Structure 1
Amino acid sequence: MHTKAPGVMRAKASADVTTADSPVRRGPERRAEHVPALTLFAHPRPYRVGERCLLEALADGREVALSRNAPDFTPPGEQLGGPLADPFLSRKPLRFIPGPEGRILLDPGEGSQVIVAGAPLQGVRELSAEEVTDGVTLELGGRVGLVLHLAEPGLEGSLAALDMVGTSLGLQRVRQRIAQVADLVVPVLIRGETGAGKELIARAVHEHSARRQRPFLSLNLGAIPKELAAAELFGARKGAFTGAVRDQKGVFLAADGGTLFLDEVGEAPPEVQVMLLRVLETGEFFPVGAHGPVKVDVRLLAATDARLEAQIDEGRFKAPLLHRLAGYVIRVPPLRERREDIGLLFHHFAQQELRALGAASRLHAGDASAEPWLPVGLASRLVRYAWPGNIRQLRNVTRRLVIDNRDQPSLRLDAELERELSAPSAASPGPPSPPPAAPAAPEVKRRKASDITEAELVAALRECAWDLNPTADRLGIARASLYDLIQRHPNIRTAGRLSEAEIARAHHECQGDLDAMTRRLQVSRKALARRVKELGLGGNER
């Protein structure tokens, strides 16, 4: 049924697009270390969640057959594993077939029912490289849940867990960067969305540094009144301002010899920014109302979910301070970029809640024929949801599910959670983008991709800021059809086809501002961010 396609899916391949008049390279950019993998997010035996199977044969151009008897899935950090072994799954396999341009074909054969990304699999379906990069959920026989994604062989076992749950590429990169910088004294700027776990990263840096026995103090600059921020940070002398009835120490002095973590650093008032710059440059500061400097030895870690570069353009943040804070940058990926970690995180939080309820044994069921406590359909919805509140939101949803179903044999959504997980954000994850034009426009009638001209395609892409989801909706075609349509037009190229020199030049001319690079290159911001990260350039994004 197929021909061998060597070298398939050895990379994150982008299907986000731009246009250019110059010749383009055919085919997406490839990274040899990335191969497809399957990670369990639901199983009748809950302790198996997180087990993984690397599809290296598929990456080498050979088919992989998945059934209840093969291949083996291995727990994180271990060498030996076993097959899915659910007696209700068929022995007849689901076949993974390598295709061109990093695509993967799924052939259900005559085996168990398969649901792909929430839709039943009827006949052979082709998954694009972009879909695999984002992570695709597979439900087998209504009992077992897997996410098809990219992994890097050997990376899981190369680094300590650092008290972080998950084995995704994004999280492993974070662990790697922590290991690189923890024992140094340079300041670190941690960038990521709200709820993504930035303070956890800061604590890991401290705990793996030479200062681990010294204080670790945390201060959220967004949670204190701006007029009190300087005193909270640097202390104040008695009588320095109304209400200062005694000397105030300040967190910098309290953290002397240790580590200070400043969250929401973008909220620092202008006068505090000046004082922070001074202490970073000289190790000295003046308490409010003091006439002499105080010397301290503090490792400063800062975090933000703000676009500090935009604040600099608006005159609200000082560029020299950003350069000082960003001695080393760690980007925390949002949960929607870590789909293979969601099942493991859910069970981690569920175990905590069940332990508090005295029912921790729920997650240690040994009967493979039992009805799953976490139904695979619900688990798949959790994996596919966009999680705008990231790990914090997942923890809260897990708590609500466990408490609401504490006396039930399996978890079920109530009406409120049903609405939350059905919100539009579930289908449209990603960083903020320009608002869509004419939000009240009538629904576009479904069309054949072959009826769309190149000019119409380019116009739609530009109107939708190079975001493929709204572009497909505007044109009235499926997203998979949009990928095919882009491939058929030689004047439209994927972001993966941009040359390294072209990206590096734009990065230099735009001073690393990802939004400016996106406008200059006319390419999807999401795809460009991946390329910038892969090339090790470092984009200024939250």
Structure 2
Amino acid sequence: MQQKLAADMSTTAGRAQAGQSPVALSVPALTIVSHPQPQRIGERLLLEVLASQGRTAALSRNAPDFSRPGGLMALPLGDPFLSRKPVEFEPGPRGGLRMLVPEDGTQVRVANEPVVGGREFSREELSAGVPLVLADRVVLLLHLASSFRQPGVLDLGIVGHGEGIHRVREDIIRVADLAVPVLIRGETGTGKELVARAIHASGPRRAGPFVSVNLGALAKELVAAELFGAQRGAYTGASRDREGFFRAAEGGTLFLDEVGEAPPEVQAALLRVLETGEIYPVGGHTPVPVDVRLVSATDAHLEARIQERTFKAPLLHRLAGFEILVPPLRERREDVGLLFLHFARQELEAMGEGGQLTSADPRAEPWLPAALAVRLVRHAWSGNIRQLRNVTRQLVIGSRGMPGLRADERLEQVLDADAQPVPGRPLTVRTGEEGGDGAKAPRRKPAEVGEQELLEALRACSWDLKATADWLGIPRPSVYVLIDKSSLLRTARDLSPEEITRCFHECEGDLDKMVQQLEVSKRALQRRVRELGLSGG
């Protein structure tokens, strides 16, 4: 996969030179979840060198620099308890990643498991997020992030730098100045009303009212009157005219949360409003024109409800003039630390203790302990951001008067009950002097390696020649010699341009898939692909 990413990086540069929009790529990144200086939570480091050049990236106390996305300041981790000897990251098979930990360097844990020698992570595990604990003081989340961000997109009052929330911001900007209805989808607690408010604040109706209505909280017999208004005497208890939410939102935005809970008669009335721009107050016979931007939200599967005949398909089509999907928190774990910091700051400021979240002492004990930070990023957050906010309040108030946060046993059990599995597999580093069982053995002579054994080793190592050499216990140059002599194998230079081009298109430019299909060295194939001008295709 690193070869594919390298090819894509060339495409990005070419598009930029041609004045076209660059292509955003997913590259490994490290985001600070906990640090002795709490204000640094949320800072990020992109490991672009792994994608662009397939090289090793090193991380130590003094380098490289982390910065907040879009920020100007950049600093190394700087914790004096971390070693100057770096932890190294290198590309792994099929788009994964290997982490190499020096024996006499910083102690590293993946979640709560110590790392000895190294650990390997699949691309799926990187996508989900891997919590790394350095010296029990600094917690980083290893994850995938975009290599390119469109400049000029503001935060819109939404906390987070994850890819999912960045797409939400871009969608808000795209639709905010248009008159089309917007349907916001997402699980409960993901912040759908916050998105609706951002649409209102970013559009031409920002000076008008923003009226929020939770249809699921209204009595079914009063929903129509609450929305469209009612004339005096229209129903028992209607002693005066009722304006209704639509007219209250005149010139602004009406946000209908839990729109899937609307009764059938209200659904029909909503469809009529969307088609004609007019409402009929309950008990009235004269239409009333309204000028309202309608934004709705749901956590329900409306298509399933259409099949069950409890929701009208035409209404869904009209409500969803444009759809925005808000991702659940478990799909944006890189934002957990920053969201936690945001809510903690709110709670502390309310108690007059906000100074705890700013520290200049790199030797201080972390305010957010490493074990607690790991629990936060591993939890599945079924209640999403609303649940995280409540947990943050519980921790801040429960730890009041203490130098750092402390979770009681009950909260620890809650956070552990639905935790992400510990990712990765121990990495067995083969030096060429070890047998398959780890026992010491003399380095082999190349002549002792048969053709079939060479082929099996190449396949096991995804055609990485250095890894193959280590696997077989022979020098790397000898692998080249054995390949040239083998009747079972061929090299990248033996491939015709037509065969490479056909395979490139069949594999959609994925160099790892091409290597598996063509069975040649990754680096050599990458050179041939570039020579044929396919890397920019």
With the shorter chain as reference, the TM-score category is: 0.7 to 0.9
Residue of 87, 91, 97 corresponding to 1:94: 87
Determine if contact 1:77/1:156 at 8 Å carries over to the other structure. Answer: no
* 2:42 alignment partner, SS class: coil
Distance 1:217 1:498, change over 3 A: farther
Deviations 1:297-332 (A, max 9, x none): 110000000000010000000000000000000000
Distance 1:170 1:5, change over 3 A: closer
* 2:3 alignment partner, SS class: coil
1: distance between equivalents of 2:402 and 2:506? 53
- The residue number in structure 2 matching 1:301 is 295
Determine if contact 2:24/2:149 at 8 Å carries over to the other structure. Answer: no
Residue of 408, 415, 419 corresponding to 1:414: 408
Q: Shift in Å at residue 257 of structure 1?
A: 1.0
Residue of 268, 279, 284 corresponding to 2:273: 279
Deviations 1:121-143 (A, max 9, x none): 12221100000111111111100
- The residue number in structure 2 matching 1:178 is 172
Counterparts of 1:141-156 in structure 2, within 5 Å, are 141-155=135-149
Residue of 65, 71, 81 corresponding to 1:72: 65
How many corresponding residue pairs?
A: 411
Distance 1:175 1:498, change over 3 A: farther
Residue of 226, 229, 233 corresponding to 1:235: 229
Residue 52, structure 1, aligned to residue 44, structure 2 = yes
Code of the residue aligned with 1:412 in structure 2: it is R
Determine if contact 1:156/1:172 at 8 Å carries over to the other structure. Answer: no
Determine if contact 1:9/1:129 at 8 Å carries over to the other structure. Answer: no
Residue of 197, 203, 215 corresponding to 1:221: 215
Q: Shift in Å at residue 157 of structure 1?
A: 4.5
Counterparts of 1:184-195 in structure 2, within 5 Å, are 184-195=178-189
1: distance between equivalents of 2:364 and 2:61? 16
Distance 1:32 1:228, change over 3 A: closer
Code of the residue aligned with 2:85 in structure 1: it is K
1: distance between equivalents of 2:33 and 2:390? 18
2: distance between equivalents of 1:227 and 1:161? 40
Identity among equivalent pairs (%): 61
For the aligned residue pairs, the C-alpha RMSD in angstroms reads: 2.1
Larger Rg: 2
1: distance between equivalents of 2:334 and 2:167? 15
Counterparts of 1:94-493 in structure 2, within 5 Å, are 94-110=87-103, 111-155=105-149, 157-423=151-417, 425-427=418-420
Determine if contact 1:42/1:143 at 8 Å carries over to the other structure. Answer: yes
The TM-score, its normalising length taken from structure 1, stands at 0.73
Determine if contact 1:8/1:101 at 8 Å carries over to the other structure. Answer: no
Counterparts of 1:489-508 in structure 2, within 5 Å, are none
2: distance between equivalents of 1:32 and 1:208? 25
Code of the residue aligned with 2:326 in structure 1: it is V
Code of the residue aligned with 2:209 in structure 1: it is P
1: distance between equivalents of 2:150 and 2:371? 28
* 1:97 alignment partner, SS class: strand
- The worse-fitting range, judged by mean Cα deviation, of 400-409 and 261-270 is 400-409
2: distance between equivalents of 1:9 and 1:48? 30
4+ runs deviating over 6 angstroms: 497-500
* 2:33 alignment partner, SS class: strand
Deviations 1:455-493 (A, max 9, x none): xxxxxxxxxxxxxxxxxxxxxxxxxxxxx9xxxxxxxxx
> Which blocks of at least 5 consecutive residues in structure 1 are unaligned?
12-30, 429-483, 485-496, 501-542
2: distance between equivalents of 1:192 and 1:499? 33
Determine if contact 1:8/1:100 at 8 Å carries over to the other structure. Answer: no
2: distance between equivalents of 1:269 and 1:63? 59
1: distance between equivalents of 2:338 and 2:86? 25
- The worse-fitting range, judged by mean Cα deviation, of 355-364 and 175-184 is 355-364
Determine if contact 1:107/1:125 at 8 Å carries over to the other structure. Answer: yes
